[in-house]
């Protein structure tokens, strides 16, 4: 079982959602970003870190240091369910291919299905192919 699959099977049982996983320093530093509807506290990170440390030992996951964190205010959006969950929020989206000469979009999330993301930009709705999205993040309103 790969690491993502292991985390996606484990975290929901603890009440958390896997947002992202990063490996750096030749795979020795492992960062796991988690979320839940009411937000993440330091206690949540400690609980998940302790649980994952034991799990990774049993499963033979190779790492030197584990960091568990919230995704932050500019949370990455990776799955269709992320776009659906944050409908009505402001997001920044970068596509692989240009659409009308543009690859970077900032607008309000107005819906998503398996193929299409709808963004409202200056009162107009733009439809982007989900498969063409390179990177998407929430834009925090401060």
Distance CA 112, CA 102 (A): 20
Q: Could you tell me the strand order of the sheet in which 65-69 lies?
A: 17-24, 29-35, 65-69
Mean pLDDT by 10 residues, the chain (142 residues): 91 94 86 93 96 94 93 92 95 94 96 95 94 95 80
In this structure, what are the phi and psi dihedrals at residue 54, rounded to the nearest 5 degrees? -65, -45
Q: Which option is the CATH number for 3-69: 3.40.50.10860, 3.50.50.60, 1.10.3720.10, 3.30.300.70?
A: 3.30.300.70
Q: What is the predicted pLDDT for the residue at 25?
A: 75
- Give the start-to-end residue ranges of the domains of the chain: 3-69, 80-138
Q: What is the predicted pLDDT for the residue at 141?
A: 83
Fold of 80-138: SH3 type barrels. (2.30.30)
> Length of the chain in residues, anyone?
142
- Cβ burial of 75 (10 Å; 0-12, 13-18, 19+) is buried
Q: What is the predicted pLDDT for the residue at 5?
A: 93
Q: How far is CA 111 from CA 35, 73, 114, 118, in A?
A: 21, 20, 11, 5
């Amino acid at each position: 079982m790969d690491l993502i699959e292991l985390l996606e099977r484990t975290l929901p049982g603890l009440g958390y959602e896997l947002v992202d996983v990063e490996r750096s320093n030749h795979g020795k530093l492992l960062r796991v970003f988690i979320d839940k509807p009411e937000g993440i506290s330091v206690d949540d990170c400690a609980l998940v870190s302790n649980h994952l440390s034991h799990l990774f030992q049993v499963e033979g996951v190779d790492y030197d240091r584990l960091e568990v964190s919230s995704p932050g205010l500019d949370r990455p959006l990776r799955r269709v369910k992320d776009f659906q969950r944050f409908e009505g929020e402001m997001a920044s989206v970068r596509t692989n291919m240009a659409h009308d000469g543009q690859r970077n979009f900032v607008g309000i999330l107005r819906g998503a299905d398996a193929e299409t993301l709808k963004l409202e930009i200056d009162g107009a709705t733009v439809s982007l192919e989900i498969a063409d999205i390179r990177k998407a993040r929430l834009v925090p309103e401060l």
